[in-house]
Structure 1
Amino acid sequence: MMRGLRSMIIMHWIFAVVTAAVLIYALFVLVAQTGACHPGAFAGGLALIAALLVLLAWPVSLRITKPLERLEDSALRIARGELSARVEISETHVIGKQLGDAFNIMAETVERMVRGGKELTANISHELRSPLARIRIAGECLKEALERGNPEEAQEMLQAMWEDIEEADRIIGRILEFSKVDLHEPLAMAEQVAPAQIVEGLARTLTPFARSKGIEIGVDLDQGVRVVGSEEWLRAAFKNLLENALRHTAAGGSVQVSVRSGDGCVLLEVTNSFAALEPEELELIFKPFYRGRTCNGEGTGLGLAIVRKIVGLHHGEVGARNVPEGFQVWIRLPAAMQA
C-alpha cells in the first residue's frame, strides 16, 4: 500500500518538474530567438512558471493533507475511548482510500483486542469467584470445627479447601496458557512438522488415563503428511483436543483420531462417542470459558479456545460437527510443499 502511495506522489512531482523544465526551456528558447532579454519580461516568465508549479502541486497537497486530517481526527477519537471510530474516504480518492482502509483494519483489530480483553477479565473474575467463595466458607467452617474440638470435621474442611485451591490453580494455569497463545507473535521459526507422529505420541501417553476410565483410543494415521509450523504449539493444540475428547467420553466409549491429506491440506479428526450438540453450540464451544449443557463440571472451558488460537496461528481452520459415531472436532492445516 505504501509503495503505491509513494509511487503516486513521485509521479505527480515528476510531472510537475518535467512541466517546469519544459516551460523554462521554452522561455530561454524564446529569449534566444528574439535576441532580447528584458529583465521585467524574463522575471515575469519565471513568475508565471512558479505560479503554474504551485497550481500543479496544490491538488497533490490537498489529496495528501485532507485524508491525514481525517485520520488524525479518528485517531484522537480512538485515543479518547471511542473504539468504534472509523475514517470514511471516498472511493475516488485513491491515496486517501488506501490510508483509510489500513487505518480501519488497525482500528477494528484494536477494538476486537480490547473487547476480548474485557470479556476475558470478566470471565476470569467469574471463574475464580466460585472456588474462592468456597474456600472462604470452608475456612469459616474450619475455624468453628477447631473451636468445637471436632478434628474429623476440621479434616473434611481442610480437604475441601485443598480441592478448591487446586481448582483455582488449574484455572489460573489454563488462563496463562491461553494468554501465552493470545500474545504469541506470528511463527518466525517455522519447521516441517509430522502431525501423525505428534498424535501417535500423545495417544501412547494418554492411553493409561483412557483405560482407567474404560475408554479406548483408536488411531488411523498417514505418517507421510507434513505441515509447516511450530511442533511445540501443534502438540499443545492436539493435546488439548485429545484431553477434551477423553474428558467428555463416558466409560465404555471410544475416541478415534485420524490424520490424512486431501486438497492441499492436512486434516485431523477426533471423534468420540458423545451425545450430539445443538447446532448453535457447535460454534460456542470454541469461545473462552464456554461450558455446554451436557458438561460434567470438569475442565475450565479454555481447551478448545486454545486449540482455535493455535490453529489460527498456523493459518488453519477448526470446527465441530455431529456425526453418526457421536461428536467430532476437526482441524484443517495447509500441507507443506513436498520437495
Structure 2
Amino acid sequence: MFRNREVRRFAVLFAAVAVTAAVIGFLIRPAAGILSLLSSAAFGAAFYAFTRARYQKIAEVSEQIDLVLHHADRIFIGGSDEGELSILQSEVTKMTLRLREQNDALKQEKAHLADSLADIAHQLRTPLTSLNLVLSLLANQPDAGERKALLREAEELLTQMDWLLTSLLKLSRLDAGIVVFQSERVDVASLVDAALRPLQIPMELHDVSLRVDAPEGIEIWGDAGWLSEALRNILKNCMESAGDHGKIEVVCEDNPLYAGIVIHDSGAGFEREELPRLFDRFYRGKGTNAAGYGIGLALCKTIISRQGGTVTAGNHPQGGAVFSIRFLK
C-alpha cells in the first residue's frame, strides 16, 4: 500500500497536520492536546484499515486479470457490496466471460477449419484418384471406342472437380462476408425457369419428368442470380435422387404470410436420423445414392438464409423428398 506515492504523500501530510494540531492543543490546554492526538490516531487507524481493505480488493482483481492472461479456468465473481470496486469487479467479470467466449469460439473455428480442410482434401482426392486411373487405362488402351469412353469419363471427373472447387469458393466468399446481395423484386416463375434451364438436358437424358406450377405475379425480394443458384442445387439434388424415369414437381405458392417454392421428387426420401443434418456442410447422407459432395444443400441454405428466407427438407406423405423455400412478406 505504501508503495503508492500518493499514499505516502497523504501519510506525510496527515502526520504533519496531526502533529501541528497536537502542538496547538497542548499550548492551549493539555487535555486538548491529548484529545487531538487520540482523534488523529483513531482517524489514521480507520483510514489505514479502509485503505488496506480497498487495496486487498484491488489486488484480488489484479490477480484475476493475471489469471485471465495466463488462460486460467477460474473466473472472478464480484461480491454483493456496492461501490466503485464492486463495479470494477463486475466489469472484470464481464471481460473475463467475454474473453472466454471469444477464446472458445476461436477454438471451435480452428477445429472447424481443420475439419473442413480435411473434408476438402478427401473430396478432391476421390475424383483425382479416379482420374489417375482413367489416364492410366487410356495410355494402355488401343481400342478407339474404349478411348472415347475413357475420355468422356475423364471429362466428367474434371467437371465434377470444377463444380466442387467453384462451390467451395462461393461458400468461402459467403463465410467471409464479402458477397453483397442485391435486393430487388424477383419474379418466382422466372426464377424457377432460370434454375431449371441448365438441368433440362440431364433430365431428358435420364427421362425425368417435370411438372411446374408457377403462376405469374408471385414475387419475392432478393438477388436473382444467387437465388437461382440455390434453387438449382435443390433441383439437382432432386434429379439425382429421383433417378432414371423419376418425377419432379415444382409448385410455387403465394399467401398473405409468405411466398414460397415447394419441390417434390419421386426418390427414396430421407432417413429420419438424416433430417437434422441434411444442410450440414460435407454431409452426404447414408443412402446408396449419396454420391454427391455434401456442398450443394449447404450452399443453398447459406444463400437463402442470408437473404431472409428459410429452407426446410423432409419426406413427402406420398413418398420421396420435399423441399420448401419460403420468404416472409
Which TM-score band (shorter chain)?
A: 0.5 to 0.7
Q: Residue 157 of structure 1: CA displacement? A: 3.0
Going from structure 1 to structure 2, the CA distance change for 1:101 and 1:268 (only over 3 Å counts) comes to farther
The corresponding residue for 1:174 is 167
Which residue number in structure 2 is paired with residue 66 of structure 1? 63
Match of 1:256 among 244, 251, 254: 251
- Of 99-108 and 166-175, deviating more is 99-108
Q: Contact 2:283 / 2:294 at 8 angstroms: preserved in 1?
A: yes
Is the Cα contact below 8 Å between 1:245 and 1:270 reproduced in 2?
no
Name the % identity.
19
Which residue among 94, 100, 103 is the counterpart of 2:96?
100
* 2:277 pairs with 1:284: yes
Q: Name the structure 2 match of 1:54.
A: 51
Structure 1 residues 235 and 71, CA, compared in 2 at 3 Å: closer, same or farther?
farther
Could you report, residue by residue, the CA deviation over 1:204-235 in whole angstroms, capped at 9, with x for unpaired residues? Answer: 22344457432122236884765xx7666555
The two structures have a TM-score, normalised by structure 2, of 0.67
Residue-pair matches, total:
285
- CA RMSD, 1 decimal: 4.2
SS at match of 2:293: coil
Deviation of 1:299 (Å): 4.1
Q: Which amino acid aligns with 2:251?
A: Q
- Give the stretch that moved more between structures: 249-258 or 165-174: 249-258
Aligned to 2:6: none
Task: Find out whether 1:142 has 2:138 as its counterpart.
Answer: yes
Deviation at 1:304, TM superposition (A): 1.2
Given that residues 281 and 292 in structure 1 are in contact (C-alpha distance below 8 angstroms), is that contact kept between their aligned partners in structure 2?
yes
Aligned with residue 188 of structure 2, among 199, 211, 235: 199
Distance change in 2, residues 1:59/1:311 (3 Å) = farther
Amino acid at match of 1:143: A
Cα distance, 1:68–1:190 mapped onto 2, change above 3 Å: farther
Q: Alpha-carbon deviations, 1:280-320, whole Å to 9, x = none?
A: 11122112222234464664321111233344545765432
Alignment partner of 1:272 is 2:264: yes
User: CA contact under 8 A between 2:189 and 2:215: conserved in structure 1?
Assistant: no
C-alpha separation in 1, matches of 2:124 and 2:280: 18
- 2:212 alignment partner, SS class: strand
Q: Quick check: 158-167 or 294-303, which moved more? A: 294-303
Aligned to 2:312: 319
The alpha-carbon deviation at position 132 of structure 1 amounts to: 0.9
> Could you say if the C-alpha distance between residues 117 and 297 of structure 1 is closer, same or farther in structure 2, counting changes exceeding 3 Å?
same
1:130 aligns with 2:130: no
Q: Do the aligned residues in 1 keep the contact of 2:181 with 2:307 (CA within 8 Å)?
A: no
What is the TM-score normalised by the length of structure 1? Answer: 0.65
Who is 1:218 aligned against? 213
The amino acid that maps onto 1:178 is L
In structure 2, relative to structure 1, the CA distance for the partners of 1:202 and 1:94 (3 Å cut) is same
Secondary structure (helix, strand or coil) at the match of 2:165 reads: helix
- The runs of at least 4 consecutive aligned structure 1 residues that moved more than 6 Å come to 34-38, 40-50
Deviations 1:35-88 (A, max 9, x none): 8999x979979966874673364255245323322321228xxxxxxxxxx554
For 1:317 and 1:72, locate their aligned partners in 2 and report how far apart those are by CA, in whole Å: 42
**Structure 2: gaps (5+ residues):** 1-9, 28-32, 80-88
Secondary structure, counterpart of 2:253 in structure 1? strand
TM-aligned CA deviation for residue 102 of structure 1: 1.4
Larger Rg: 2
SS of the residue 1:102 aligns to: helix
**C-alpha distance in 1 between matches for 2:251 and 2:134:** 41
Equivalent runs, 1:15-164 vs 2, <5 Å: 51=48, 54-55=51-52, 57-58=54-55, 61-62=58-59, 64-74=61-71, 88-90=75-77, 94-145=90-141, 149-164=142-157
Q: Distance in 2 between matches of 1:283 and 1:118?
A: 23
